[in-house]
Amino acid sequence: QVQLVESGGGLVQPGGSLRLSCVGSGSRFSPYAAMGWYRQAPGKQRELVATTTRGATISYTDAVKGRFTVSRDTAKNTMYLQMNNLKPEDTAVYYCKSNSWGVDYWGQGTQVTVSS
């Protein structure tokens, strides 16, 4: 069993910064598992933001390269998404995902709104 809880979302002005956190727990959760951040904007499909494996960033979607950074604190079972120079098009619900024993687990999401 895996539980993922996202936090850190909120309202920010364009050009601002925000840091999201995803805390994992449960008998089948590993802080070294492949994890990722996804987002879903209103009326759009859920899209990949970034993926990591054992704390190492694998890839970022082109829309966030140079602005977003993923990191992990394995001692705290936490994955972070540092978001800088936010744009209105970054507005979405952001979801954390972890894969354990070949099964994907999702958090409930945290809302990020970028607006003046």
Per-residue pLDDT tens over the stretch 47-66? 999 998 865 667 999 999 99
The C-alpha angle 100, 82, 25, rounded to 5 degrees, equals 30
In this prediction, residue 35 has a pLDDT band, given cuts at 50, 70 and 90, of very high
DSSP, collapsed to helix, strand or coil, labels residue 9 as coil
CA distances from 9 to 26, 30, 78 (A): 23, 24, 15
Q: Determine which of 53-57, 69-73, 89-93 has the lowest per-residue pLDDT on average.
A: 53-57
